[in-house]
Chains A and B, each alone.
Chain A
Amino acid sequence: MGADALTLSFRNRELAYLILVGVLTAVGFASVYIARKSHVSAASLTYAIFFFVLYLAAHVVARFTVPSADPYLLPLAGLLTAIGLTEIYRLGPANAFKQGLWVVIGVAVFAAALIFLRQDYRLLENYKYLFGLGAIGLLFMPLLPGIGQTVNGSRLWIHFGGLQFQPGELGKIALIVFLAAYLREKREVLAQGRVKDWGPLLVIWGGAMLVLFATDDLGGALLYYGIFLAILYAATARLQFVLVFIVLFLVGSAAVYQGTPHVRERVVNWIQPWTTHKVHCALNGQMTLRQDCASYQEVQSLYSIAHGGYAGTGLGSGLFTTAQGHPLIPYLSTDFIYSALAQELGLIGVSALLLIYMVFVLRGFRVSLAANDGFSKLLAAGLTFGFALQTFVIVGGILRVIPLTGITLPFVSYGGSSVIANFLVVAGLMLVSDRANR
């Protein structure tokens, strides 16, 4: 009886929070509309309604499939999506329309995942090697022009011709499922140090290194490897394993640093983005200051952030183009959306944004802690830690905490594969949470 009252109140709470998010979304779009009414139409406000209806649909699915799941995750994801959608809309209304479509697909995938796995998601454990192979396949997909084309040309994406898809985002989810399942099974033997069980893990290490080397995707490599170490530590409780793998990573990274000019450039830009003397510019072959060439994007992004100050310029009033209308920062609505938000929302606004991420992460770990079995715990922890690490890698890169690598900011950046992958993260956490609370 008591449980019934509790479950009811969980979903009702979720609904209440979602309504709040819906109101905030409306305020956000209204504020963009007011600031830019000469440029955008009042019809933009329908985005808020459309968006609210989508999340309401997700809520209804959750109500029937995972009634006991954590009530905060979906509204928090909704809030982050809304912030992203508002900013994407402000930067380019056409992109917001596409992003809206991706959210539709994301909600559909979310619903499908909940519906298919509502009985027992733990059967995924049985297909762990499939997930492992799938992860590697997805990670390497961009390298293979044939497969890459097949993906882009597959029926699902034909409708949205101009949209790009990063298979690595889904590869990340597959990797987490594989690691959670494999390490749950082998954690004891691994902790005892049986060498042959290390095989698959060394394959993963080699894979991450290869991806890093072959695609120059430093951010991706950092992310996958970080997730791997987190799950390895959670499963074995052996800090020394983590340290060994960190050393291996550093050795590999040093080799890559020597071998790939792209990675070296990122590190140099990180250490010294401003030069007072002219250095060789690879873009035009001339001698220029580094801030005018290689580190231009990083430096201008920092200027954008600094311009926001404490209170920001206000949604819709930020400066992202030259007076002639040319964009100041490339990839603003994808990798660099944080610097756009920082300018318009200011320190107060983006600190709040980061706190939203923090609440989401804490809820995720709470789900992991409350789970009853090893696979569930590792799955929830892996999904959550991956979410936090991805935020850290991109925002930390923008803020010069670490070298900059281009990956998306979860839920906020413009990009379809990212949206779908993040909805899968929420679905996974809600499935685990529902089971634990049942």
Chain B
Amino acid sequence: MNKQLNRLALVAVLMLVALIVATTYWQAWAAGSLAAKQDNAVELVSQFQVARGLIFASNGKTVLAADRRVKRNGQSFYFRRYPSHGLAAQTLGYSTSALSQTGLELSLNDFLTGSTTNLSNAIQRTLDRLGGGTVYGDNVTLTIDAGAQALAQQLLGNRCGAVVAMNPHTGAIYVMASSPTYDPNLIDKPGGYSKVLKTTGTCGGSSALLNRATDGLFTPGSTFKMVTAAAALDSGAFTPTSHFVDPGYCEEYGKKVYNAGNPDQNGPESYGGVTLAQGFEHSINSVFCNVGKQIGAKTILEYARKFGFYATPPLETPANQRVPSGLYKNNKLWFPKDPVTEVDPGRLAFGQFTMVATPLQMLLVGATIANGGVVPRPYIVKRVIGHDGSVISRTRPTTLGRAIKPQTASELTQMMISVVQGGTGTHAQIPGIQVAGKTGTAETGLNHVYTAWFVAFAPAENPQVAIAVVLEKQLNGFGGAVSAPIAKAVLQKLLHR
């Protein structure tokens, strides 16, 4: 009988060996793919065992995101709270107890949970975990200026729009405000999310969750004349003193396109003989229409591309919360195969046609002119600091390449100074500081309802701050009248004047 018993013993041992093999499979081989499963409740909960890193404004004091510790069953869990109640809400995003994440909370998750660290941190974290201690995520300091950000949000009020400001040399974002906005603390509260969804601002039917600064596309209107003028000057086709005759309209395809349709223009309907610089100062459509006809849509679009159009602007926020600017067709970015026949160059030149841009993109145009023709690479994370104080990462400013010659940039700067000194943008004047700017008032298809723009930088001779302001669906609201004062106030705040 012993022979059978030995065989039975072998079967029993093999069964137990199979269990060890299977355990090894799940804990070593398949562990990674299981951890990545959507419905993995254990991994979801384990994220809340990490004391999520804090998020600070650039002063290192204003806390934008912090933790709330909850003890349950003898274990500590950390949930998010937002002490600044929605300062830069859409940029910051949120992280809820169901682990629904948006904004920087989503894109910086690996830092905030301490998953992306150097070796010594990784060892420390493992020891913390085994010792039952709390694992701390890395703290993030943004480039956001808390005071200016709050001011911009306050000035936007419940109007729909956005304010973006940056250092034109480094690309550091000082302000990224979008309105309507919301309090991220609400998201996790019962009924809070639907309350946020119902926040639509004065423009109606629009989401407070949308980051208009990077995810909102607006017709740039006359602010696009910066791009057209840059193309005209940089290509050598025109100079600021090039002469034009403005009869009050521009003739295209045998039809007259009247300046009267341009709400951004100030002064008389027909200026007569003007220079290119004057046409820019007073935002005369006929002048730019003729520029467009002469240099062609292809040249304008190529320069637009150099300024960053047709590419999703780089930033630390999630890629799906940023969109590229350019011509759109059927809600899709569209670069014409044959710009000569497919694009109306006159209308494109003054920023109508199907051209749409994000506030961040128009800011990059202004910042590039302020930066001597080089496009700064925008960034919003200043540095990431481990819980032990060690520097995990520090952002080094870089550029996205040169768009225009320094000479062109300085000519455009002069033209933009004129806009604020005596043109369409006089509401942006700051005593003692030279401001350079460009207004834009784009038609929306509704009578007397406009998208009001202002793009500026200051001080003009030594630019420290560039800014773009957009307000949606403004009834009789012109860029120079409604957006320029916001730009002025935020510039003053950022320049401490």
Contact = CB atoms under 8 A, between A and B. Distances in A.
B126 to A, nearest CB: 8
B72 A303 contact: no
Contact of A237 (B3, B13, B16, B70): B3
A322 B34 contact: no
Contacts of B25: 399
A421 interface: no
Contact of A365 (B9, B26, B43, B131): B9
B49 interface: yes
B129 A323 contact: no
Question: Interface on chain B toward A: helix, strand, loop, or mixed SS?
Answer: helix
Given A303-B43, A307-B43, A321 B16 contact: no
Contacts of A388: 12-13, 15-16
A289 B28 CA distance: 26
Contacts of B495: none
Contacts of B35: 303, 306-307
Contacts of B28: 309-310, 347
Most buried by B among A317, A323, A324: A323
A299 interface: yes
B5 A322 contact: no
Contact of B23 (A303, A307, A399): A399
Interface in A241-293: 274, 289, 291-292
Nearest to A91: B73
Contacts of B9: 361-362, 365, 384
Contacts of A234: 1, 4-5, 8
Contact of B30 (A39, A306, A308, A384): A306
A368 interface: yes
A205 B90 CA distance: 67
Nearest to B33: A306
Given A234-B5, A306-B27, A310-B27, A354 B19 contact: yes
A319 interface: yes
Contacts of B15: 388-389, 391-392, 396
Contacts of A165: none
A19 interface: no
Contact of B45 (A39, A299, A322, A358): A322
Interface in A292-319: 292, 299-300, 302-311, 313-314, 316-317, 319
A365 B11 CA distance: 11
A147 interface: no
Nearest to A184: B1
A60 interface: no
B328 to A, nearest CB: 34
A316 B73 CA distance: 11
Interface string B197-218: 0000000000000000000000
A374 interface: yes
A350 interface: yes
A373 B377 CA distance: 87
Given A303-B40, A323-B72, A347 B1 contact: no
A314 B130 contact: yes
Interface string B288-302: 000000000000000
A34 interface: yes
Nearest to A38: B74
Interface in A339-378: 342-343, 346-347, 350-351, 354-355, 357-358, 361-362, 365, 368-369, 374, 377-378
Given A347-B28, A384-B9, A389-B12, 12 more contacts: A36-B132, A38-B74, A303-B37, A314-B132, A323-B70, A323-B79, A325-B73, A354-B23, A355-B20, A365-B6, A377-B5, A401-B18
Interface of A: 34-36, 38-40, 230, 233-235, 237, 274, 289, 291-292, 299-300, 302-311, 313-314, 316-317, 319, 321-325, 328, 342-343, 346-347, 350-351, 354-355, 357-358, 361-362, 365, 368-369, 374, 377-378, 381, 384-385, 388-389, 391-392, 395-396, 399-401
28 contacts: A39-B74, A39-B75, A40-B74, A235-B1, A291-B39, A292-B39, A303-B35, A303-B40, A303-B43, A310-B27, A317-B130, A317-B132, A321-B75, A323-B70, A342-B26, A346-B27, A347-B27, A347-B28, A354-B19, A354-B23, A362-B13, A369-B6, A377-B2, A384-B12, A385-B11, A389-B15, A392-B15, A396-B18
